Each structure stands twice: as structure tokens, then as C-alpha cells.
Amino acid sequence: MEHRLKTGDCNLTNTAFSSINFKNSNMFAKTLLQKEATMSDLMLDVDQAGELKSAFRRGDWTNAEIKKLSEGNVLTHVRQVVLGNAKIVQIKSLEFIGTIIIPAITKKFVAKDNFIVDTSRKTKVKISYLGDDFRKNFLGKTEKAIPETTLRYHKLRKSSADKPIIAELGGEKKAETTLAEMFALMEMQPNGEKGALPTNGYANIFYIHDVNGVLGAVRCDWGGVGWSVDACSVGTPRERYYGRRVFSRNSSES
């Protein structure tokens, strides 16, 4: 006797069920065989394990990073990149905040006549500290007069060394600013008032050529009683921390 089951628009006999079950059995067996073959392929021998270990070492991976790579679907996504179905998009280090106009500087800017440690009421800009590297490489610099300019400023979204920051800004030409422009911003906030320069203790970073024409990283940050100013080479591996502000040439003026 033939039994029929009605389900919506389907009208299946027991013969049809047998056929479906048979097909499902074949598919299930095929899937198991494929899985077994795949698992067999994934049995790492000593050479393959060594290749992975060498690759992790070349990339300076830590044990914590390798563990994270093994979690969830991370490797599934990596495989899609290997297969050419996806691509890696690097997260940018800089978040654009805004621009600020620097008034024309009508005469030569002599660094030693302006960057003076003085936190008294009479000084035009309170400066509490000048670092040794700034004194050595920047304090003897004199810059020519410049017309009104516009600077861009970004916030660091993640910690980064100087060279990648400069590259993201568009290269040295676009990243470069001047001591006169930096000091002009400090003049707008002589007592630590709010403005383009954060006064929460975080560094404001400017890329400026020193007395020898070498691009360096000059920073100023408000220390409570005055501005602290220092400098270092852009070639050091030292990273600028998250949240710091980076100033650069406006793209239309570069």
C-alpha cells in the first residue's frame, strides 16, 4: 500500500522518501569522506610545522598573537585572502580633526629669541621646559618670513612610529611645518587655554627641519604651568601614543 503525505504543494510517496533518504545517505557519506581527506591533508609533518614557525618568527609574532589567530573565524578570513577572495585593508593611523589658519609671519623667526623658559606673568608664552635635543638641534635655527598658512591636524587612532605617520600624511613635503608656525599656535594658547593644541598633557607633534636640514619630530605639551618642548629623530622606533595630535601642511599649500 502506498502512503502519501501532503505538505504544502508537495505530494510525496513513501517511494519518494526512500529515494530522498538514499540520496541523503550518499551525500552524507561523500561529505564524511571529503572531511576525512581534508583532515588527513591538515596533518602537519615536521617540515610544515617548521615552515609555520619560521614564518611567525619572520613576522615577529608573539605567542599571544598566534593564539588570537587560532580563535574563532580569524583563520577562515585569512584563508579567503590567500584564495584571492578578499583583501587586507590597513587601518589608518590618523583621524582628521580640522584646520587652523596661522597669520603671516612678517619677519625672520629666531628660535632662541622666542623659545625661552619663563612662566612669569609678563612672558608672552609660558614655557616651562626645553629638552636637550631641542636645544641642540633647533634652538639655533632662524626661519624666513612666511605668508598666512593653514595647517591640518589629526589625532592618532593608534600608536605609531614617525615614519609611517609621515607616509600617511603624504610624505615629508606635506608633513613638514616650521618652528614659527608651532610657536604661533602656542601664542594663541599662552597660558594653556583651550584651542587647536590639546592641553591635557598629550603631545602635539610637528615635523620640522633642524639646523642641519634634517627632518625631526618636535613636540609641545602643556605641563600645568607652561609648555614643555622637546625633539627627537624621526628615525627612532619609538612610537607616538594613541590620542596625540599631529600637525602638517594643508594639502592645498603643499
Strands (E), 144-203: 149-156, 160-161
8 A C-beta contact, residue 168 and residue 93: yes
pLDDT of residue 113: 97
**Does the pLDDT value for residue 2 go beyond 50?**
no
C-alpha cell recorded at residue 150? 593653514
Asked whether residue 66 is domain-assigned, the answer is no
What pLDDT, on a 0 to 100 scale, did the predictor assign at position 74? 85
What 3-state DSSP class applies to 37?
Answer: helix
Helix and strand numbers (H, E) in the chain are 9, 13
Q: The domain containing residue 214 runs over which residues?
A: 94-253
Question: From the centroid of its chain, how far is CA 59?
Answer: 18
pTM reported for the whole predicted model: 0.68
Same domain, 98 and 35: no
Name 5's bridge partners: 12
Q: Is 76 inside a domain boundary?
A: no
Please check whether residues 35 and 127 belong to one and the same domain.
no
Give residue-wise pLDDT tens across range 193-240. Answer: 999 999 999 999 999 999 999 999 999 999 999 999 999 999 888 889
Which grid cell is 99? 584646520
CA distances from 79 to 31, 50, 86, 252 (A): 21, 20, 9, 41
pLDDT at 14 over 80: no
Q: Give the distance, in angstroms, between the CA of residue 153 and the centroid of all CA atoms in the same chain.
A: 14
Nearest residue to 177 (alpha-carbon basis) of 109, 123, 239: 109
Q: In this structure, are 25 and 101 located in the same domain? A: no
Tell me: do 108 and 227 sit in the same domain: yes
**Is 86 contained in some domain?**
no
More confident of the two residues 6 and 229: 229
| Percent of the chain at pLDDT exceeding 90 | 58
Three-class SS state of 203: coil
The dihedral built from the CA positions of residue 24, 26, 28 and 30, taken in this order, carries a sign that is negative
The number of distinct structural domains making up the chain is 2
Q: Identify whether residues 19 and 100 lie together within a single domain.
A: no
- How many residues are present in the chain? 254
Question: Which of the pair, 22 or 51, is modelled with greater confidence?
Answer: 51
